[in-house]
Structure 1
Amino acid sequence: MSAHYTGWGHFALTSTVCLGTVAFALTRLTAPTAIEWLTVPATFLLANLVEYWGHRGPMHHRTGPKKVYERHTLQHHRFFTHESMAYEGSRDFKMVLFPPVLLGFFLGAIAAPIGALLFVLATPNIAWLYVATAMGYFLTYEWLHFAYHLPASSPLARLPGLAFLRRHHTLHHDPAQMGKANFNITFPVADLLFGTRR
Structure 2
Amino acid sequence: MKHDTEAFRARYRAAMHPRYSGRLHALWIAVAGLTVVLVSMAQLEAVQTFEWLVLALALLLGNIGEYAIHLSLGHRKKRWAKLFYQRHTGDHHSFFTDSNMQWQSPSDWRVVLFPAWLIIVVVAFIGAPGAWAFNHFVSTNAAWLWLAGISGTYVLYEAFHFSDHLPDGHWLHRLVPGLAAMAHLHRLHHHRDDMTAVNFNLTFPLTDYVMGTLRWTPREPTTTTQD
TM-score range, shorter chain: over 0.9
Q: Indicate the residue corresponding to 1:11 in structure 2.
A: 26
Q: Indicate the residue corresponding to 2:5 in structure 1.
A: none
Q: Indicate the residue corresponding to 2:140 in structure 1.
A: 124
Structure 1 letter corresponding to 2:160: L
Aligned 8 A contact 1:148 1:157 in 2? no
Q: Give the TM-score normalised by structure 2.
A: 0.84
Cα drift, residue 54 of structure 1:
0.5
Q: Indicate the residue corresponding to 1:42 in structure 2.
A: 57
Q: Indicate the residue corresponding to 1:87 in structure 2.
A: 103
Q: Indicate the residue corresponding to 1:165 in structure 2.
A: 182
Q: Is 1:195 paired with 2:207? A: no
Q: Secondary structure at the match of 1:67?
A: helix
Q: Secondary structure at the match of 1:100?
A: coil
Aligned 8 A contact 1:18 1:136 in 2? yes
Q: Indicate the residue corresponding to 1:56 in structure 2.
A: 71
Structure 2 letter corresponding to 1:156: L
Q: Secondary structure at the match of 1:38?
A: helix
Aligned 8 A contact 2:126 2:150 in 1? no
Aligned 8 A contact 2:188 2:199 in 1? yes
Q: Is 1:99 paired with 2:99? A: no
C-alpha separation between the residues in 2 aligned to 1:15 and 1:26?
16
Aligned with 1:178 (options 195, 213, 216): 195
Cα drift, residue 6 of structure 1:
0.7
Structure 1 letter corresponding to 2:40: A
Aligned with 2:154 (options 138, 144, 165): 138
C-alpha separation between the residues in 2 aligned to 1:157 and 1:81?
19
Aligned residues: 198
Cα drift, residue 158 of structure 1:
3.9
Q: Indicate the residue corresponding to 1:149 in structure 2.
A: 165
- Cα deviations by residue, 1:132-177 (Å, 9 ceiling, x for unpaired): 1111111110011001101224211344511111001110000111
Deviates more, 1:106-115 or 1:53-62: 106-115
C-alpha separation between the residues in 2 aligned to 1:106 and 1:4?
26
What CA RMSD, in Å, does the superposition of the two structures yield over aligned residues? 1.1
C-alpha separation between the residues in 1 aligned to 2:199 and 2:161?
13
Q: Give the TM-score normalised by structure 1.
A: 0.96
Structure 1 letter corresponding to 2:39: F
Gaps of 5+ in 1: none
- Cα deviations by residue, 1:28-71 (Å, 9 ceiling, x for unpaired): 11111000011121111111001111011011011251101000
Aligned 8 A contact 1:44 1:137 in 2? yes
Deviates more, 1:128-137 or 1:108-117: 108-117
C-alpha separation between the residues in 1 aligned to 2:53 and 2:172?
31
Structure 1 letter corresponding to 2:103: Y
Gaps of 5+ in 2: 1-15, 216-227
Structure 2 letter corresponding to 1:147: S
Aligned 8 A contact 1:22 1:133 in 2? yes
C-alpha separation between the residues in 2 aligned to 1:154 and 1:44?
27
Q: Which has the higher contact order (CA 8 A, sep 6+)?
A: 1
